[in-house]
Structure 1
Amino acid sequence: MDNYDQKLGIKTWAEADRPREKLLLQGRRQLTDAELIAILIGSGSRNETAVDLSKRILNFYKNDLAKVAKLSVKELSKFKGIGQAKAISIVAALELGRRRKETEKEGPLQITSSKDAYEILKAELSDLPHEEFWILILNRANFVTGKHFVSKGGQSGTVVDPKVIFKVAIENNAASIVLAHNHPSGNLRASSADISITKNLVQSGLLLEIPIYDHLIITDHSYLSLADEGLM
């Protein structure tokens, strides 16, 4: 019959198959990624349910939530059926998830190795479609007293102004600092510019008696320490 060829709206589904009702009846862990996103979306269209729309978005990114988490409101809005309001809901929810992960797995407060610094900074610098530059402020015992955003750039670089970096360091009574920026491409090699900028900043830090202990390059899944590699 023709009726079987028509897509059914969520309200006509069995109660156990509706995302909201399924969450109430079975708990949040029983929902698929598509069903969770469908709850954020709220409603589909006459031709496509919210779950089908969610599946279409996920399928486009090979069901990789890490890639979906990087999307901007503008990028999500390119999908038919996703307006600005729905895109904002998705971006906000995924950002909350990222922040929760950061607070649950916050790294050690004392820096004894490059891995310690990475654990503290990875939540800030992973899953970004552009480059950002951050610094860690350390006291004399190498305890972290703050982490600060310095600058934002494009996909292949960001402007690093020594005056801004050391202004933040001085204002926050830094005994020493750790530098960090991300490579959205996933490339863990330090460029000649990365090495040159780092060496210049190290020299400036010595003059101001604010030593730079390390410069990390962070990707979504790993990091490179210029200090460990002998590039400083």
Structure 2
Amino acid sequence: MSIKFLAEDDRPREKFLSKGKNSLSDSELLAIIMGSGNKDETAIELARKILASVNNNWHQLSLLSLKDLMKFKGVGEVKAISIITALEIGRRRANQEIPEKPIISNSNDAYLILKNHLSDLRTEEFWAIFLNQSNKVIHLTQLTQGGINQSMVDVRVLFRTALEHFSTGIIIAHNHPSGNLKPSREDIDITQKIKEAGKLLSIQLLDHLVITQNSYASFSDEGLL
């Protein structure tokens, strides 16, 4: 019986899309990796059989060779390689330390993160740092690249990115290739626009940095926020 004839809740890909990855059983995860079963078994049934042979233990499954896996009806070389590759990715992930997210406690912390991206440019760029409630950096991105005098900012894109990363705080920054640290009227206006928009979404604008080749100015430090 093909997977397409199963109830929707028993189709692992559809279940993944509707209920999320955590809803999937081990056999459903393995079925997605394999993609198909054999003429007598669905991918889920075949996955159950394979897992049962190793007492439903992923570590034991990772010890099986290509030949071991290919003993199961419907598991050819391609499926066996897919299974071993997925398990190897899991092993490597487990061996990697989760990188520590930097914490921003003042304007200089933000400057140290941004200066390598902005200090030596000949045209203006607009960047944003997105933070969680602990002021840990969760995302850093360039949002626009403008002319030599100004960088146009799409506030909708800024906050869409913030929402995508569940950010509660934002630090924005742009560079002045001229070397002038004084914010322009446009800089002040866009800062206020972003600040007010953030209030509606409970996303706080924490600072706006103007960066030159050798220094920076902070809206927060200057009392301009």
* Range into which the TM-score falls when normalised by the shorter chain: 0.5 to 0.7
Partner of 1:137: 130
Partner of 1:194: 187
What amino acid sits opposite 2:193 in the alignment? N
Deviations, residues 138-160 of structure 1 (Å, cap 9, x unaligned): 01100111111100001111111
Cα RMSD of the aligned pairs, angstroms, is 1.0
Match of 1:173 among 163, 166, 169: 166
For residues 215 and 180 of structure 1, the distance between their equivalents in structure 2, rounded to whole angstroms, comes to 5
Match of 1:116 among 109, 112, 115: 109
Other structure's SS at 2:112 match: helix
Q: Is 1:210 matched with 2:190? A: no
Other structure's SS at 2:148 match: coil
Deviations, residues 34-74 of structure 1 (Å, cap 9, x unaligned): xxxxxxxxxxxxxxxxxxxxxxxxxxxxxxxxxxxxxxxxx
Q: TM-score, normalised by structure 2?
A: 0.55
What amino acid sits opposite 1:130 in the alignment? T
For residues 196 and 151 of structure 1, the distance between their equivalents in structure 2, rounded to whole angstroms, comes to 17
For residues 131 and 212 of structure 1, the distance between their equivalents in structure 2, rounded to whole angstroms, comes to 20
The 5-angstrom pairing of residues 152-167 of structure 1 reads: 152-167=145-160
Task: Provide structure 1 residue ranges, at least 5 long, that are not aligned to the other structure.
Answer: 1-107
Other structure's SS at 2:203 match: coil
User: By how many angstroms is 1:192 displaced?
Assistant: 1.1
The 5-angstrom pairing of residues 91-110 of structure 1 reads: 109-110=102-103
The 5-angstrom pairing of residues 46-125 of structure 1 reads: 109-125=102-118
Moved more, 108-117 or 209-218: 108-117
Deviations, residues 103-157 of structure 1 (Å, cap 9, x unaligned): xxxxx81111000000000001111010000000101100111111100001111
For residues 159 and 197 of structure 1, the distance between their equivalents in structure 2, rounded to whole angstroms, comes to 9
Other structure's SS at 2:129 match: strand
Q: TM-score, normalised by structure 1?
A: 0.53
Match of 2:141 among 148, 153, 158: 148
For residues 149 and 142 of structure 2, the distance between their equivalents in structure 1, rounded to whole angstroms, comes to 18
User: By how many angstroms is 1:213 displaced?
Assistant: 0.3
Larger Rg: 2
Other structure's SS at 2:209 match: strand
For residues 185 and 147 of structure 2, the distance between their equivalents in structure 1, rounded to whole angstroms, comes to 18
For residues 163 and 142 of structure 1, the distance between their equivalents in structure 2, rounded to whole angstroms, comes to 22
Partner of 2:217: 224
For residues 138 and 120 of structure 1, the distance between their equivalents in structure 2, rounded to whole angstroms, comes to 13
User: By how many angstroms is 1:172 displaced?
Assistant: 1.2
For residues 123 and 131 of structure 1, the distance between their equivalents in structure 2, rounded to whole angstroms, comes to 14
What amino acid sits opposite 1:218 in the alignment? I
Task: Provide structure 2 residue ranges, at least 5 long, that are not aligned to the other structure.
Answer: 1-100
